[in-house]
Amino acid sequence: MKPKSDCIACLVERTKYECDMALNDDRKKIFALKEFIAFLLEHLGEERKSPAFFGTEREKIIKKWSGAKDPHKEVKRRSNAVAKGLLPEAYKFYNATASTEDKIEALMRIAAAANSMEYGIKGYSYDDDRFKGDFVHTLNEKLNWNKDLVLSAIKGRNKILYLTDNAGEIFFDAFVVKKLIEMGKEVVVSPKNAPVINDATTEDLEEAITSVSTNFVRVIPSGSCIGMSLEEAEEVFIDMFCDEGYLIIAKGMGNYEAISEFEAEPGLGLKGRLIYILRAKCEPIASSIGVKKGELVAKLV
């Protein structure tokens, strides 16, 4: 997805949001903002430069000026605690279903609802306490999905590559993975191998896997970029991403922004084996994927 005019304002506003979170010195905030805006102006319009690409550079700049390896550490800790406390609701929602198709739909809803856990997006307000209070309602919201295609893809493939998104929601992803394994699927999970915004790292995944008491999860990180980068991910991940034997489940807006830029390339063979799952939290994402802003989404490409 190429940046829209709204994305430019959002990227700058997000930079200010993170400067306020990570920096106390206003001069450093100005220097960080100046550096990011210069980078943004230099690279806008270039091929494969999605909002996720610019967001990744923003994180490098914030880390440099703050000196913090993980400026989002406290936010991630709170999100993980909130999600862990809500896991019983996910179990209850899933266990209320009977048929295999209903159970798959429940997993799609749990995964999409969990993507509500996001801070700092222009025009989208998130609060931990409100999320806790609304979670059960969120699970029952409209799910915008190509149902038959998604069900067929999941039932028809035994191997799944699951690209995670945020901390917090990683606990619900671990639950979804656990249930997919119980359905006989071989699942490889791809978190980040280093901190980038509030995305889940391998450490967050380990905590989540322990919380849902599952085994046999193979972990291959997708890299340390927002979304993913074909140029920067390690070869073992790229080989699996390009293996047409794997169904790919890509969580969150960052993965959508990045992957949608190259999803049609014939050499990757992604058509018919890539499912985006997210909440469309901004208008550019919603219009790009063909849904209404705010909707839960599970779309097979």
Q: Which of 49, 66, 83 is the last residue of a domain?
A: 66
CATH of the domain at 146: 3.40.50.10880
- Return the DSSP state at 259: H
* Cα separation, 195 vs 73, whole angstroms: 9
Same domain flag for 95 and 235: yes
Same domain flag for 35 and 86: no
HSE, CB side, 13 Å, CA atoms: give it for residue 287: 9
| Predicted pLDDT at 229 | 94
Same domain flag for 109 and 12: no
Same domain flag for 132 and 27: no
| Predicted pLDDT at 120 | 85
* Containing structural domain, residue 91: 73-300
Q: Alpha carbon of 290 to those of 20, 48, 98, 194: distances in Å? A: 34, 20, 31, 32
* Cα separation, 197 vs 61, whole angstroms: 12
Same domain flag for 50 and 112: no
pLDDT in tens, 247-273: 999 999 999 999 999 999 988 999 999
Q: Which of 51, 66, 81 is the last residue of a domain?
A: 66
| Predicted pLDDT at 102 | 97
pLDDT in tens, 59-81: 999 999 999 999 999 999 999 99
| Predicted pLDDT at 88 | 97
| Predicted pLDDT at 38 | 98
pLDDT in tens, 114-162: 999 998 898 898 999 999 999 999 999 999 999 999 999 999 999 999 9
Residues of the chain with pLDDT > 70, as a percent, come to: 100
Same domain flag for 14 and 153: no
- Averaged pLDDT, 265-289: 96
Same domain flag for 41 and 139: no
Residues of the chain by 3-state class (helix, strand, coil), percent to 5: 55, 10, 35
Structural domains in the chain (count): 2
Residues 6+ apart with CB under 8 A from 40: 8, 11, 12, 54
| Predicted pLDDT at 122 | 86
Same domain flag for 14 and 124: no
Mean pLDDT across the chain? 96
Per-residue pLDDT at 215 exceeds 80: no
Per-residue pLDDT at 48 exceeds 90: no
DSSP H or E stretch at residue 120: none
Backbone CA torsion sign across 117, 92, 99, 159? positive
* Cα separation, 53 vs 89, whole angstroms: 35
Alpha-helix residue ranges (DSSP H) falling in 44-184: 51-66, 73-95, 100-114, 128-139, 147-156, 169-182
Q: Which of 66, 99, 118 is the last residue of a domain?
A: 66
Q: Alpha carbon of 1 to those of 50, 187, 259, 260: distances in Å? A: 6, 27, 8, 5
Same domain flag for 46 and 147: no
Predicted model pTM: 0.97
Same domain flag for 131 and 51: no
Same domain flag for 170 and 252: yes
* Cα separation, 135 vs 157, whole angstroms: 30
Same domain flag for 149 and 10: no
pLDDT band at 56 (very low <50, low <70, confident <90, very high): very high
- Averaged pLDDT, 34-40: 98
Least-confidence region, from 145-154, 162-171, 212-221: 212-221
| Predicted pLDDT at 47 | 86
